[in-house]
Chains A and B, each alone.
Chain A
């Protein structure tokens, strides 16, 4: 399998620099030292809670945010395009599906205008070609062509998300970043959209990066999963393996905290626990203050994501991983 997209040691800092009077401004590392590779045709799931940097990472992958170091590569594209946020080049290869389907569609444009925009600006298609492509897209996302001349507010969340997906498909990308594509949807509609995404992946040979906070959704769609905490990847493995045997205590906590219908199974923390202060990150492991099996070493030294685990594809950034 070949890697379609590789990300090495990518970093995103917000703030920083100097103020008008020369004082250093405080900086927040939203994403730090993230390495991932996405293989052709697979779905990489990225799981994490709010503030873990997963959306920032996703936005860097399409050029909406610029990485602080030149470190994202995709075949056929100059890495500097990521650095310059050159979406016009990137958008032909990588597209994005937004979390909130309604606010990702301009309320004053018809669906036709919205879907034609990438065809005009990215592909330069003429009118008959656009018509054909529109028909193909609407059929692909299972919407009736009569919807083309309507405005976004006339659609329900699920329908709007299909249009969002159609917009992403319009330019014929290879990779689609799905940023919480179903979290704003009702559960019954969520399943429709997940099934649709699976169909489209098969049909157009797409590669997905699927970002979500919902473990069960990520488990059901992903081939491989990366777990993020406080701007870093803390665990990374084949989906099956990760869900069968989480190694990082944070992953374990996530699993234990997720409610399962029909079971009274949630084992959360007794005491309230939060993310560390992003302006003053701890020197050691960011999870140490919440970790049930924390030791002294964890507080002073930061563990790296190492694959010295039983399986070569299963890596966890932890000195004392959870035993099976």
Chain B
């Protein structure tokens, strides 16, 4: 192993995503909120130096002047005070109270949440039950109670509002902390010698901070409203000082003869709270990792097909169950384009099991998902090729037809059965649903068939197990249920995406055997995706090896495993320890696969290949036939047999 080759090749890529602030301003509503709030805050900050009347000086002679009067732009109130001046001074007070109450509530609430979430157990129970008690009071009643005890006044109103909002922070932060407290980096920090306080404040807190910010941004507006509410009731700011709520309260009595006295502060509250909430939503959209990753973006029902090149349909009738011709699938993230599948051609023959082998990022799963248009759009799109089943191109058929094919003629089995099965329905119901969406049968009949299917996948006590929920079954049992579901409509093609990777080795053996038996019994063709050559030899007739989005070798399992022709296949086999051969030197492949947004011209494996020559890097290398197999290499490891 040489240090040089490791360190030079593997430079992490800088992210091509736009910055957080850019994302925020791209959200038009949030940008509008930002502008409105900016103006209001600027006015509030400038109030002391603006040429305004004293807000508290009464002038009974000039009472209730309408807006637009000279010298009183927004008119005067019932004591003849200038409304503009009171409005700006009042906004200062409301903003200051709202913000400080938020900070106080955020500080104490987050602290309680952090401690409760991190330590768990009794500490958690004690703290959270106290919070629950606080929440059991209607908030306005609680605030009134606190003010009643402490006496009316601005500062007391602030305390009351802060206390009332502590539970909101505590519960939010506790939830997030709970999830983080059991993460491995927390254990790692403890093993680095940090005490609990150190772990909590230097490891957990930085990861919780975005949530605190999100919670704050969505509460500030609310707190300003609550301050206004208390002042409106006469419990906050005391006369003659103004804040938005007390102005509203004073104007209430004059609502009919001088509506502007209450409408103006009302509009200010509206503008303030609305702009803050818009920004809050924007901030949440930007900072929330789930929203950021696009998980909550609604993907379309099928992958967008936007083919730049369309190969000709195969001219003759084949007996292939599935033909993939020069399939290309890309992901566009920010400004970079990831060519996840860069021209894959596969022919899955009737009743055969074809293995698709590769490391993560080689495009094997995306290939499989593209067949049924299951790649999420955005960011994915199919940009070239054809997927032919029964003489029809699946990339061209109507949505209706495609839906009929999914789970009908072509079914999929996924890696993690726990996330594939719906947690709230019994497994029998879920299989019955799969049957009923393709066959016009009643529920009783479908249920009977699903029990039969569960028996087929050799689940003991199938009749009772059909009414179990997924969490009541073990991993192996759940995967059997998924297989039963895939077999429910006598599919011709099964696409199995790492179906045994999440299982224990003894369970994997059971499931592999079951799959192998059933595919022969049912006469289904299987596209079996895996990274494990051991599993390939167990079940596959032929195998295709993928690297950086393309097939580099395709042949019968025996040929490819015993006499690999592509250097990558050779290295991939050699770097796996083999049971019963502990002395075999592990021949690691140096470096990392290229990222598919920056593929080199020529062979993608060239940088890691021991046999590389200059012309490997020169240009496109075709998948060439060598005997009855295909290899994408200029200098394959086996001689051409012709």
Residue ranges of A at the interface with B (Cβ–Cβ < 8 Å): 49-50, 59, 62, 64, 87-88, 91, 95-96, 98-100, 103-109, 114, 117-118, 120-122, 139, 142-144, 147, 150, 154-159, 164, 167-168, 170-171, 186-192, 194-196, 199, 213-217, 219-220, 239-240, 243, 253-275
Contacts and interface: CB of A to CB of B under 8 A. Distances in A.
29 contacts: A64-B187, A88-B195, A96-B191, A98-B188, A108-B206, A117-B189, A118-B192, A150-B12, A159-B10, A187-B572, A187-B575, A191-B586, A191-B587, A192-B1, A220-B577, A220-B584, A254-B506, A256-B509, A258-B505, A260-B534, A263-B537, A264-B538, A267-B509, A268-B506, A268-B508, A270-B510, A271-B510, A272-B458, A272-B459
A45 B602 CA distance: 43
A273 B147 CA distance: 65
Interface stretch (B410-418, B489-497, B588-596): B588-596
A135 B575 CA distance: 29
Nearest to A262: B561
B571 interface: yes
Contact of A191 (B460, B475, B535, B575): B575
A262 B538 CA distance: 8
A188 B571 contact: yes
Contact of B506 (A91, A191, A257): A257
Given A121-B198, A187-B572, A272-B459, A261 B533 contact: yes
Given A104-B184, A217-B577, A243-B580, A199 B506 contact: no
B37 interface: no
Given A62-B191, A188-B589, 7 more contacts: A104-B185, A186-B360, A191-B587, A219-B579, A240-B582, A264-B537, A270-B510
A164 B476 CA distance: 31
B613 interface: no
Contacts of A155: 12
Smallest CB-CB A-B distances: 5 pairs: A268-B509, A259-B534, A121-B193, A154-B12, A257-B509
B458 A91 contact: no
Given A147-B12, A186-B359, A215-B579, A261 B536 contact: yes
A259 B188 contact: no
A45 B446 CA distance: 49
Interface in B1-41: 1, 3, 6-8, 10, 12-15
Interface size class on chain B is 35 or more
B292 interface: no
B161 to A, nearest CB: 31
B582 A158 contact: no
Nearest to B585: A195
A72 to B, nearest CB: 16
Interface of B: 1, 3, 6-8, 10, 12-15, 183-185, 187-195, 198, 203, 206-207, 359-360, 458-460, 474-477, 480, 504-510, 512-513, 531-538, 561-562, 571-573, 575-580, 582, 584, 586-590, 592
Contacts of A62: 191
A11 B428 CA distance: 40
A276 B474 CA distance: 11
Nearest to B183: A103
Nearest to B193: A121
B562 A262 contact: yes
A195 to B, nearest CB: 5
Given A139-B3, A171-B193, A190-B575, A259 B537 contact: yes
Nearest to A240: B582
Contacts of A150: 12
A88 B197 CA distance: 13
Contacts of B8: 144
Contacts of A158: 592
B203 A261 contact: no
